[in-house]
Amino acid sequence: MLLPRWVAVVMAGLVVAGCTNKTAVAPFRPESVTFVSADVGLVIGLSTCGDVQCLRLAKTADGGYTWIWVTGGGLSGLSLADRWQMRFADAQNGWISGPFLLATHNGGRTWTQIALPGLGSRTGSVGALEVADGRVFAEVAEGTDPDAYGPVVLFSTEVSKDSWAAVGNVATGSAGYPGEISVAEGAMWAMLHPGVVSQDHGVEVHSLLYHSTDGVTWHDSLLPCPPLTVASVAAATSTRVFIVCSGGVAAGSQIKTAYLSTDGGASYKRVGDPPFAGDFDEAAASPLAFSVAAASGATYIYTSFNEGRDWATTYLPQTGGLPLSDLGFTTPTQGVVIFGGPAYPQWLQLLMTRDGGHSWAKIDVSPS
Protein backbone atom coordinates (compact mmCIF):
# COMPACT_ATOMS: atom_id res chain seq x y z
CA MET A 1 0.00 0.00 0.00
CA LEU A 2 1.27 3.44 -0.90
CA LEU A 3 1.97 5.55 2.18
CA PRO A 4 1.91 9.18 1.01
CA ARG A 5 3.79 11.76 3.06
CA TRP A 6 0.85 14.15 2.84
CA VAL A 7 -1.49 12.04 5.01
CA ALA A 8 -2.86 14.49 7.55
CA VAL A 9 -2.41 14.48 11.28
CA VAL A 10 -5.64 15.36 13.12
CA MET A 11 -5.90 19.07 13.84
CA ALA A 12 -8.03 20.31 16.70
CA GLY A 13 -8.70 23.73 15.20
CA LEU A 14 -7.38 26.57 13.11
CA VAL A 15 -6.45 30.05 14.26
CA VAL A 16 -4.26 32.24 12.10
CA ALA A 17 -2.26 34.56 14.29
CA GLY A 18 0.89 36.63 13.93
CA CYS A 19 3.78 37.42 16.19
CA THR A 20 5.73 40.63 16.02
CA ASN A 21 9.35 40.87 14.93
CA LYS A 22 10.35 41.53 18.53
CA THR A 23 8.99 38.21 19.80
CA ALA A 24 10.32 35.98 17.02
CA VAL A 25 13.75 34.55 17.76
CA ALA A 26 16.22 32.20 16.05
CA PRO A 27 16.54 29.55 14.90
CA PHE A 28 14.21 29.74 11.92
CA ARG A 29 13.71 26.34 10.25
CA PRO A 30 12.34 26.51 6.66
CA GLU A 31 9.68 23.93 5.84
CA SER A 32 8.62 25.03 2.33
CA VAL A 33 9.96 27.47 -0.26
CA THR A 34 8.57 29.31 -3.27
CA PHE A 35 10.26 31.73 -5.69
CA VAL A 36 8.23 33.93 -8.03
CA SER A 37 11.37 35.19 -9.82
CA ALA A 38 15.10 34.72 -9.54
CA ASP A 39 15.18 37.45 -6.88
CA VAL A 40 11.90 37.23 -4.96
CA GLY A 41 11.14 34.21 -2.82
CA LEU A 42 9.39 33.23 0.41
CA VAL A 43 9.74 30.47 2.97
CA ILE A 44 7.39 29.20 5.64
CA GLY A 45 9.13 27.72 8.64
CA LEU A 46 9.28 26.95 12.32
CA SER A 47 10.11 29.80 14.66
CA THR A 48 9.36 30.95 18.21
CA CYS A 49 6.72 33.53 19.02
CA GLY A 50 7.39 34.55 22.61
CA ASP A 51 7.49 31.26 24.51
CA VAL A 52 5.47 29.34 21.90
CA GLN A 53 6.65 27.60 18.75
CA CYS A 54 4.88 28.79 15.62
CA LEU A 55 5.02 28.97 11.84
CA ARG A 56 6.19 32.20 10.22
CA LEU A 57 6.93 33.59 6.79
CA ALA A 58 10.15 35.23 5.62
CA LYS A 59 10.92 36.88 2.28
CA THR A 60 13.97 37.58 0.15
CA ALA A 61 14.29 40.17 -2.61
CA ASP A 62 17.89 39.38 -3.58
CA GLY A 63 17.82 35.72 -4.57
CA GLY A 64 18.14 34.26 -1.08
CA TYR A 65 21.15 36.19 0.22
CA THR A 66 19.17 38.16 2.83
CA TRP A 67 15.73 37.64 4.39
CA ILE A 68 13.16 39.71 6.29
CA TRP A 69 10.04 38.75 8.22
CA VAL A 70 6.69 39.08 6.47
CA THR A 71 4.70 41.39 8.72
CA GLY A 72 1.72 39.53 10.15
CA GLY A 73 2.99 36.34 8.58
CA GLY A 74 2.91 34.28 11.77
CA LEU A 75 0.70 31.20 11.63
CA SER A 76 0.96 30.04 15.22
CA GLY A 77 -2.39 28.24 15.19
CA LEU A 78 -1.35 25.73 12.52
CA SER A 79 -0.29 22.31 13.74
CA LEU A 80 3.50 22.01 13.82
CA ALA A 81 3.19 18.23 13.39
CA ASP A 82 1.70 18.57 9.90
CA ARG A 83 3.61 19.18 6.71
CA TRP A 84 2.73 22.53 5.11
CA GLN A 85 3.67 23.68 1.64
CA MET A 86 3.58 27.20 0.24
CA ARG A 87 3.36 28.62 -3.25
CA PHE A 88 3.09 32.23 -4.46
CA ALA A 89 2.08 33.35 -7.92
CA ASP A 90 3.46 36.86 -7.48
CA ALA A 91 4.20 39.29 -4.66
CA GLN A 92 0.57 39.36 -3.51
CA ASN A 93 -1.18 36.04 -4.20
CA GLY A 94 -0.13 32.91 -2.34
CA TRP A 95 -1.35 29.69 -0.72
CA ILE A 96 -0.42 27.46 2.19
CA SER A 97 -1.60 23.88 1.79
CA GLY A 98 -1.75 20.70 3.83
CA PRO A 99 -4.71 19.42 5.85
CA PHE A 100 -6.24 22.85 5.13
CA LEU A 101 -5.89 25.36 2.29
CA LEU A 102 -5.27 29.03 3.05
CA ALA A 103 -5.01 31.93 0.60
CA THR A 104 -3.55 35.42 0.81
CA HIS A 105 -4.01 38.29 -1.62
CA ASN A 106 -1.92 40.87 0.24
CA GLY A 107 1.52 39.31 0.32
CA GLY A 108 0.99 37.10 3.37
CA ARG A 109 -0.19 39.74 5.83
CA THR A 110 -3.57 38.01 6.24
CA TRP A 111 -4.86 34.58 5.30
CA THR A 112 -8.29 33.14 4.49
CA GLN A 113 -9.22 29.49 4.93
CA ILE A 114 -10.65 27.98 1.73
CA ALA A 115 -13.52 25.50 2.00
CA LEU A 116 -13.13 22.53 -0.36
CA PRO A 117 -14.52 18.99 -0.06
CA GLY A 118 -12.73 16.94 2.58
CA LEU A 119 -10.38 19.63 3.85
CA GLY A 120 -10.35 19.75 7.63
CA SER A 121 -11.48 16.13 7.93
CA ARG A 122 -9.28 13.43 9.44
CA THR A 123 -8.04 12.18 6.05
CA GLY A 124 -8.62 15.13 3.71
CA SER A 125 -5.62 17.05 2.41
CA VAL A 126 -4.17 19.09 -0.43
CA GLY A 127 -1.59 16.80 -2.02
CA ALA A 128 -0.10 19.16 -4.62
CA LEU A 129 -0.50 22.82 -5.58
CA GLU A 130 1.13 24.84 -8.38
CA VAL A 131 0.59 28.07 -10.31
CA ALA A 132 0.63 28.71 -14.06
CA ASP A 133 -0.58 31.50 -16.37
CA GLY A 134 -2.72 33.36 -13.85
CA ARG A 135 -4.37 30.28 -12.36
CA VAL A 136 -3.66 28.08 -9.35
CA PHE A 137 -4.27 24.32 -9.36
CA ALA A 138 -4.64 21.99 -6.37
CA GLU A 139 -4.98 18.23 -6.13
CA VAL A 140 -7.42 17.69 -3.24
CA ALA A 141 -7.75 14.30 -1.58
CA GLU A 142 -11.28 14.36 -0.21
CA GLY A 143 -10.61 11.47 2.16
CA THR A 144 -13.92 9.62 1.96
CA ASP A 145 -12.37 6.27 1.01
CA PRO A 146 -11.20 4.53 4.23
CA ASP A 147 -8.33 2.71 2.50
CA ALA A 148 -6.85 5.16 0.02
CA TYR A 149 -8.12 8.64 1.05
CA GLY A 150 -9.71 9.34 -2.33
CA PRO A 151 -11.28 10.55 -4.40
CA VAL A 152 -8.59 12.99 -5.54
CA VAL A 153 -9.91 15.90 -7.60
CA LEU A 154 -8.09 18.73 -9.38
CA PHE A 155 -9.47 22.17 -8.42
CA SER A 156 -8.56 25.56 -9.87
CA THR A 157 -9.21 29.29 -9.60
CA GLU A 158 -7.77 32.56 -10.86
CA VAL A 159 -4.87 33.57 -8.63
CA SER A 160 -6.53 36.80 -7.47
CA LYS A 161 -9.81 35.10 -6.52
CA ASP A 162 -11.06 32.39 -4.16
CA SER A 163 -13.60 30.96 -6.62
CA TRP A 164 -12.39 27.38 -6.69
CA ALA A 165 -14.06 24.82 -8.94
CA ALA A 166 -13.31 21.25 -9.96
CA VAL A 167 -11.54 20.79 -13.29
CA GLY A 168 -13.71 18.53 -15.43
CA ASN A 169 -12.72 14.86 -15.64
CA VAL A 170 -9.36 15.26 -13.85
CA ALA A 171 -9.88 12.98 -10.86
CA THR A 172 -9.32 9.49 -9.53
CA GLY A 173 -12.17 7.15 -8.72
CA SER A 174 -13.33 6.74 -5.16
CA ALA A 175 -9.91 5.40 -4.12
CA GLY A 176 -6.68 7.15 -4.95
CA TYR A 177 -3.75 9.31 -3.98
CA PRO A 178 -2.49 12.66 -5.27
CA GLY A 179 0.69 12.88 -7.30
CA GLU A 180 2.30 16.12 -8.38
CA ILE A 181 1.66 19.09 -10.65
CA SER A 182 4.47 20.25 -12.94
CA VAL A 183 4.42 23.43 -15.03
CA ALA A 184 6.77 24.86 -17.64
CA GLU A 185 6.34 27.61 -20.24
CA GLY A 186 2.56 27.58 -19.89
CA ALA A 187 2.16 23.81 -20.17
CA MET A 188 0.69 21.97 -17.18
CA TRP A 189 0.92 18.32 -16.15
CA ALA A 190 -1.05 16.71 -13.32
CA MET A 191 -0.25 13.21 -12.08
CA LEU A 192 -2.90 11.27 -10.13
CA HIS A 193 -2.79 7.78 -8.65
CA PRO A 194 -6.12 5.93 -8.67
CA GLY A 195 -6.31 2.84 -6.50
CA VAL A 196 -8.10 -0.48 -6.66
CA VAL A 197 -9.05 -1.75 -3.21
CA SER A 198 -9.11 -5.51 -2.64
CA GLN A 199 -11.39 -7.39 -0.25
CA ASP A 200 -8.64 -7.45 2.37
CA HIS A 201 -8.30 -3.64 2.04
CA GLY A 202 -5.04 -3.72 0.13
CA VAL A 203 -4.64 -1.00 -2.50
CA GLU A 204 -3.18 -1.55 -5.97
CA VAL A 205 -1.98 1.84 -7.18
CA HIS A 206 -1.93 3.02 -10.79
CA SER A 207 -0.93 6.33 -12.40
CA LEU A 208 -2.82 8.75 -14.64
CA LEU A 209 -1.24 11.78 -16.35
CA TYR A 210 -3.25 14.78 -17.55
CA HIS A 211 -1.92 17.58 -19.74
CA SER A 212 -3.15 21.11 -20.52
CA THR A 213 -1.77 24.06 -22.46
CA ASP A 214 -4.31 26.60 -21.24
CA GLY A 215 -5.39 25.36 -17.78
CA VAL A 216 -8.97 24.95 -18.95
CA THR A 217 -8.97 22.00 -21.34
CA TRP A 218 -7.25 18.86 -20.05
CA HIS A 219 -6.46 15.59 -21.82
CA ASP A 220 -5.19 12.30 -20.48
CA SER A 221 -1.67 11.62 -21.66
CA LEU A 222 0.47 8.62 -22.48
CA LEU A 223 2.53 7.05 -19.68
CA PRO A 224 5.51 4.81 -20.49
CA CYS A 225 5.92 3.22 -17.05
CA PRO A 226 6.12 -0.56 -16.58
CA PRO A 227 3.41 -2.33 -14.55
CA LEU A 228 3.60 -2.17 -10.75
CA THR A 229 5.46 1.13 -10.74
CA VAL A 230 4.38 4.62 -9.70
CA ALA A 231 4.94 7.50 -12.14
CA SER A 232 6.12 11.04 -11.43
CA VAL A 233 6.31 13.93 -13.90
CA ALA A 234 8.81 16.79 -14.30
CA ALA A 235 8.41 19.26 -17.16
CA ALA A 236 11.50 21.04 -18.48
CA THR A 237 9.78 23.06 -21.22
CA SER A 238 6.37 23.09 -22.86
CA THR A 239 7.40 20.12 -25.02
CA ARG A 240 10.18 18.36 -23.07
CA VAL A 241 8.90 16.32 -20.14
CA PHE A 242 10.54 13.64 -18.03
CA ILE A 243 8.76 10.72 -16.39
CA VAL A 244 10.30 8.74 -13.53
CA CYS A 245 8.83 5.31 -12.75
CA SER A 246 9.65 3.91 -9.32
CA GLY A 247 8.79 0.56 -7.85
CA GLY A 248 10.15 -2.31 -5.83
CA VAL A 249 12.25 -1.74 -2.73
CA ALA A 250 15.36 -3.51 -1.50
CA ALA A 251 16.98 -2.48 1.79
CA GLY A 252 16.73 1.27 1.23
CA SER A 253 17.05 1.21 -2.55
CA GLN A 254 14.50 1.36 -5.35
CA ILE A 255 14.43 0.72 -9.07
CA LYS A 256 13.93 3.99 -10.94
CA THR A 257 13.45 4.16 -14.69
CA ALA A 258 13.35 7.44 -16.61
CA TYR A 259 11.76 8.46 -19.90
CA LEU A 260 11.99 11.62 -21.98
CA SER A 261 9.40 13.10 -24.33
CA THR A 262 10.38 15.88 -26.74
CA ASP A 263 6.92 16.25 -28.29
CA GLY A 264 4.75 17.20 -25.34
CA GLY A 265 4.07 13.66 -24.19
CA ALA A 266 2.99 12.18 -27.53
CA SER A 267 5.87 9.71 -27.40
CA TYR A 268 8.71 8.76 -25.05
CA LYS A 269 12.14 7.20 -25.22
CA ARG A 270 13.78 5.47 -22.30
CA VAL A 271 16.93 7.17 -21.03
CA GLY A 272 19.49 6.05 -18.47
CA ASP A 273 18.18 4.80 -15.13
CA PRO A 274 18.75 7.06 -12.14
CA PRO A 275 20.96 5.34 -9.54
CA PHE A 276 19.45 2.50 -7.51
CA ALA A 277 20.31 3.79 -4.02
CA GLY A 278 17.53 5.55 -2.12
CA ASP A 279 13.75 5.47 -2.31
CA PHE A 280 12.36 7.96 -4.82
CA ASP A 281 11.14 11.30 -3.40
CA GLU A 282 10.70 13.86 -6.18
CA ALA A 283 11.91 14.92 -9.62
CA ALA A 284 12.46 18.32 -11.22
CA ALA A 285 13.63 19.49 -14.62
CA SER A 286 15.01 22.59 -16.29
CA PRO A 287 16.16 23.16 -19.89
CA LEU A 288 19.68 22.22 -18.69
CA ALA A 289 19.20 19.46 -16.12
CA PHE A 290 17.02 16.68 -14.80
CA SER A 291 17.22 16.00 -11.05
CA VAL A 292 15.89 13.15 -8.92
CA ALA A 293 15.70 13.28 -5.10
CA ALA A 294 15.90 10.04 -3.13
CA ALA A 295 16.37 9.08 0.52
CA SER A 296 16.75 6.01 2.71
CA GLY A 297 19.87 5.44 4.82
CA ALA A 298 21.28 8.48 3.03
CA THR A 299 19.86 11.47 1.15
CA TYR A 300 20.67 12.00 -2.52
CA ILE A 301 20.11 14.34 -5.41
CA TYR A 302 21.01 12.67 -8.70
CA THR A 303 21.29 14.93 -11.75
CA SER A 304 21.72 14.38 -15.46
CA PHE A 305 23.02 17.15 -17.68
CA ASN A 306 22.70 15.24 -20.96
CA GLU A 307 19.00 14.25 -21.05
CA GLY A 308 19.39 11.21 -18.84
CA ARG A 309 22.27 9.46 -20.58
CA ASP A 310 24.55 9.84 -17.54
CA TRP A 311 23.89 10.63 -13.88
CA ALA A 312 25.95 12.36 -11.19
CA THR A 313 25.38 12.52 -7.44
CA THR A 314 25.16 16.26 -6.89
CA TYR A 315 24.07 16.22 -3.24
CA LEU A 316 24.99 13.69 -0.55
CA PRO A 317 25.12 15.20 2.97
CA GLN A 318 26.90 13.61 5.89
CA THR A 319 23.61 13.62 7.76
CA GLY A 320 21.49 11.30 5.65
CA GLY A 321 18.21 9.48 5.56
CA LEU A 322 15.96 12.54 5.69
CA PRO A 323 13.52 13.38 2.86
CA LEU A 324 13.78 16.14 0.30
CA SER A 325 10.82 18.25 -0.84
CA ASP A 326 10.01 21.32 -2.98
CA LEU A 327 12.72 20.35 -5.47
CA GLY A 328 12.46 22.71 -8.42
CA PHE A 329 14.20 25.15 -10.75
CA THR A 330 13.23 28.83 -10.84
CA THR A 331 15.56 29.49 -13.78
CA PRO A 332 17.87 27.20 -15.78
CA THR A 333 20.64 27.95 -13.27
CA GLN A 334 18.79 28.57 -10.00
CA GLY A 335 16.96 25.89 -8.03
CA VAL A 336 15.71 25.10 -4.54
CA VAL A 337 14.98 22.13 -2.29
CA ILE A 338 14.03 21.61 1.36
CA PHE A 339 16.08 19.08 3.35
CA GLY A 340 14.28 17.39 6.27
CA GLY A 341 10.70 17.48 7.48
CA PRO A 342 8.43 18.29 10.44
CA ALA A 343 9.27 14.99 12.15
CA TYR A 344 12.89 16.17 12.51
CA PRO A 345 12.60 19.96 12.72
CA GLN A 346 16.17 20.46 13.92
CA TRP A 347 17.44 19.34 10.49
CA LEU A 348 15.20 21.51 8.31
CA GLN A 349 17.28 23.45 5.78
CA LEU A 350 16.82 25.38 2.55
CA LEU A 351 19.31 24.38 -0.13
CA MET A 352 19.89 26.30 -3.35
CA THR A 353 21.82 25.72 -6.54
CA ARG A 354 23.10 28.66 -8.56
CA ASP A 355 25.01 26.61 -11.12
CA GLY A 356 22.18 24.67 -12.76
CA GLY A 357 22.14 21.77 -10.31
CA HIS A 358 25.85 20.90 -10.27
CA SER A 359 26.09 21.75 -6.55
CA TRP A 360 23.75 22.57 -3.66
CA ALA A 361 24.46 24.76 -0.64
CA LYS A 362 22.66 25.49 2.63
CA ILE A 363 21.05 28.94 2.73
CA ASP A 364 20.80 30.94 5.95
CA VAL A 365 17.18 32.12 6.03
CA SER A 366 17.39 33.85 9.43
CA PRO A 367 15.61 37.18 8.92
CA SER A 368 17.47 40.37 9.80
Confidence at 19, pLDDT banded by 50, 70, 90: low
Residue 165 pLDDT exceeds 60: yes
Over range 90-114, report the average pLDDT: 95
Query: What gap in Å lies between CA 131 and CA 331, rounded to an integer?
Result: 15
In this predicted structure, the answer to whether residue 262 has a pLDDT above a threshold of 90 is: yes
Residue 343 has pLDDT above 60, yes or no: yes
Supply the pLDDT for residue 267.
97
Percentage of the chain exceeding pLDDT 70? 92
Over 50: is that where the pLDDT of 243 sits? yes
Going from N- to C-terminal start, the domains of the chain cover 1-16+77-221
Rounded distance, CA 351 to CA 37, Å? Answer: 17
Task: Note the pLDDT tens digit of each residue in 169-227.
Answer: 999 999 999 999 999 999 999 999 998 777 776 778 889 999 999 999 999 999 999 98
In the structure, what pLDDT confidence band is assigned to residue 358 with cuts at 50, 70 and 90? very high
Answer CATH for 1-16+77-221 from 1.25.40, 2.40.128, 1.20.140, 3.40.50: 2.40.128
**Selected residue with higher pLDDT from 113 and 23:** 113
- Asked if 338 and 31 touch (Cβ cutoff 8 Å), the reply is yes
Confidence of residue 9 (pLDDT cuts 50, 70, 90): very low
The predicted-structure confidence for 268-316, as pLDDT tens digits, reads as follows 999 999 999 999 999 999 999 999 999 998 999 999 999 999 999 999 9
% of the chain exceeding 90 in pLDDT? 75
pLDDT band at 31 (very low <50, low <70, confident <90, very high): very high
Residue 121 or residue 94, greater confidence: 94
